[in-house]
Amino acid sequence: MSSSVPRLSLWMVALLSGASALGPASMQILLPALPVIREDFSISPGTAQLTLSLSMLSIAIATLFYGPISDRFGRKPTLIAGTIITFMGSLFCLAAPTVDLLILGRIIQAFGGAVGLVVARAIVRDVYGPQESAKIISTLVMVMVVIPMLSPALGGELMVLFGWRSVFVVIALFSALILVIMHLHLPETLVEPAPFEGIGGMLRTFQLLLQSRVFRGYGFSVAFVSVVFFSFISAAPEIMVTVLGRPATEYGYYFVMIPAGFMAGNYLSRRFGGRLSIFQLIDTGSKISLAGITVTLLFQAYGFHHPIFLFFPIAVAVFGNGMTLPNAQAGAINEFPRQAGSASGLTGFLQMGLSAAAAQLVAVIFNETAYPLLILMFCASLASLLCFRFGVGKPDMESLNEKSNI
């Protein structure tokens, strides 16, 4: 840590957590309204799903740019610019008269919201060394996942009370609040700006990162863990209505189990991080995730179609994700501390790019049952474990654990 960079106060960490959650929350708060949007615009489920999947793709592309830009021009101005884009995109969605313009507005909104995913983690890496940064990043990851997971419940209530467009008012107000606080109080943490050599230089940096077997192991482990819960949140509202015959608003209440599971796993990771190696935390979390999804498949096979038999075992799976995700995320960034912004951005791209593809794939392969979703989630969870095992490996993991003491 540079002596010229002040340590972050607790409320400043809270601000960065809110900035990290802004993009995913704005993306997921609309989930309960997808069946209603489909009816209002008289469109197919696949077209309605574009309001989600293209938002995720927009976040994925944006994360590639925010990292190198923040490495060159500073963390604070990059965060402010992205938050302004989120605010403007939310207003665009609010006024969109057609589904095409709504999708465009969602793309703009998501492109801006991606800034917190990348720059907040880079700020933490600027201020703290490897040992402390993993703990702070664990907090950022928890908030980044939990707030968006809770947002569908809020979105459902807003939809019932004020209509589905009201969610964009909430996101606009939230982004405006974050913008004002950042402008007034957020310090600049970048001490040594890195040269920005355009698209070519950015691609060379990404090539350097991807040449590292350890980075690939961490990065793709994170990406496939993200596929697990993003594919679930994209398909679960339609499954609640079509397969289980429940109202769309009920989805938000059962969904509360999912962030609760993630928070429990995240807490366990932070609580026992000094006693268990990173290998043990990621490996155990991946196995728990596989077990939870397997139990869900068995429940479906034996005819247990009440929502509790879908959401509770998936909450167990997400408990495992809560152990895996923050440790793998921190490991990917710590592998290249001087390119923290680029490493964070590339990891975010892998996360959201694969998740966007999975979200749209779920809509395409939906067959009026939960099986396509659950099989996809099982394959993603298995892929996360295999990427970690073959990419990082136990010996490398233990040596890195000695260095970072996460």
Q: How confident is the model at residue 405 (pLDDT cuts 50, 70, 90)?
A: very low
Residue 39 burial (10 A CB sphere; 0-12, 13-18, 19+): exposed
**Percent share of the chain, pLDDT over 90:** 24
Q: What is the CA radius of gyration of the chain?
A: 20
* Mean pLDDT, the chain, whole residue set: 82
125: DSSP letter: H
Q: When comparing pLDDT for 231 and 197, which is higher?
A: 231
5 is a domain residue? no
* Cβ atoms 95, 75 nearer than 8 A: no
CA dihedral 343, 347, 349, 351 (to 10 degrees): -170
In angstroms, the CA 78 to CA 190 distance is 11
Q: When comparing pLDDT for 52 and 350, which is higher?
A: 350
Encoding tokens for residue 375? 């099989």
Q: What is the pTM of this model?
A: 0.72
Question: What single letter denotes the amino acid at residue 180?
Answer: V
Q: How confident is the model at residue 366 (pLDDT cuts 50, 70, 90)?
A: confident
Encoding tokens for residue 219? 């990065």
Taking the alpha carbons of 337, 64, 22, 15 in that order, is the dihedral positive or negative?
positive
1 is a domain residue? no
Q: How confident is the model at residue 202 (pLDDT cuts 50, 70, 90)?
A: confident
234 is a domain residue? yes
> Which tens digits make up the pLDDT trace of 306-333?
899 999 999 999 999 988 888 887 778 7
In angstroms, the CA 341 to CA 99 distance is 34
pLDDT at 398: 45
Range of the domain at 292: 10-404
246 is a domain residue? yes
Over range 362-380, report the average pLDDT.
Answer: 88
Over range 134-149, report the average pLDDT.
Answer: 72
6: DSSP letter: P
CATH code of 115's domain: 1.20.1250.20
317 is a domain residue? yes
User: Worst-scoring range by mean pLDDT, 100-104, 250-254, 354-358, 402-406?
Assistant: 402-406
pLDDT at 5: 55
Question: For residue 161, what are the contacts with CB-CB under 8 A and spacing of at least 6?
Answer: none
> Which tens digits make up the pLDDT trace of 78-88?
999 999 999 99
> Which tens digits make up the pLDDT trace of 247-267?
766 776 788 788 889 888 888
Question: What's the count of helices (H) and strands (E) in the chain, helices before strands?
Answer: 16, 0
Helix, strand or coil for residue 224? helix
User: Worst-scoring range by mean pLDDT, 112-121, 226-235, 386-395?
Assistant: 386-395
pLDDT at 340: 67
Closest CA to 323 of 362, 361, 277: 277
2 is a domain residue? no
Q: How confident is the model at residue 402 (pLDDT cuts 50, 70, 90)?
A: very low
Question: For residue 35, what are the contacts with CB-CB under 8 A and spacing of at least 6?
Answer: 48, 237, 238, 241, 248
Domain count, the chain: 1
Q: When comparing pLDDT for 339 and 343, which is higher?
A: 343
302-317 core/surface letters (b: 16 or more CB in 10 A; e: else): eeeeebebbbbbbbbb
Encoding tokens for residue 115? 């800034």
